[in-house]
Structures are given as structure tokens and as C-alpha cells.
Amino acid sequence: MFCLVYQFQVKPGMEAQFRAGWVSLSQALVDDFHSLGARLHVTPEGNWISYAQWPDVETWKAGEKVIFDFLQQSHWDNCLQGEVKLLMRMTVTDDLLVPVSVQEQ
């Protein structure tokens, strides 16, 4: 499994619009490009961090263009301050996360 960590700076007051765009993009990547999904986090300092999982690097590269096209062509870009940062690319060596359904959160 291949994972990526992205950082976003969201303009104050635009959090709901940003989250809606993130959900839309992440779901499209699952549905159309075989992503294994993603999680969105916010830090106490207001940084938004997304952790995305892919089966492998090749599958991610097939969906990568869609990610950047979405950022450029959508109104989601109006939510952001600065550029999206790709902080890390990682290969999973051990996985002990327990799957949690959305209903349980």
C-alpha cells in the first residue's frame, strides 16, 4: 500500500466549502481511480492534513492528474491560502489500524 500526506491552509470562513470539495474529490478518486480512500484532519493550529491511501504508486500516478486538475478548475481553490503541499510519500510496512465505519464516529 502507498500513502500520501497533504497539507492545506484554508481561508477563515471557508472550512465548510473546503471540506465539501475534499469529500467530492476523495470520493471521485475512490470511484474512478481505485484509491483506497482518505482521511481529513485539522490541527489545533488550523492546518488541514489529508492522509490518502492507494494500492500502489502506479495507481496513484493514474489519478494524480485528476487531483491537480480539480484544484485548478474548481471553486475549491478559492478556499485555500497558498498551494497544497505534499508532505510525505510512504509505503506501508505494517498496518494495525482498526477499520471504523462512518456511523461509529
pLDDT at 98: 87
Full-model pTM: 0.84
Q: Give, in order, the Cα–Cα distances in Å from 45 to each of 8, 20, 60.
A: 12, 21, 29
pLDDT at 73: 65
Q: What is the pLDDT of residue 97?
A: 86
Helix (H) or strand (E) holding 52: strand 47-54
CATH number at residue 31: 3.30.70.100
pLDDT at 65: 76
- What grid cell was written down for 18? 473546503
Return d(Cα 2, Cα 92) in angstroms, integer: 6
pLDDT of residue 75: 64
In a domain, 51, yes or no: yes
Q: Which structural domain, as residue segments, surrounds residue 45?
A: 2-92
Give domain status of residue 104, yes or no: no
Cα 74–chain centre separation: 15
Return the pLDDT at 67: 74
Residue 102 forms part of a structural domain: no
pLDDT of residue 2: 94
pLDDT tens track, the chain, 105 positions: 999 999 999 999 999 999 998 998 899 889 988 999 999 999 999 999 999 999 999 999 888 777 777 766 666 778 889 888 999 999 999 989 888 775 555
Judge whether 87 and 5 are in contact, CB under 8 Å: yes
Q: For residue 45, give the amino acid letter.
A: E
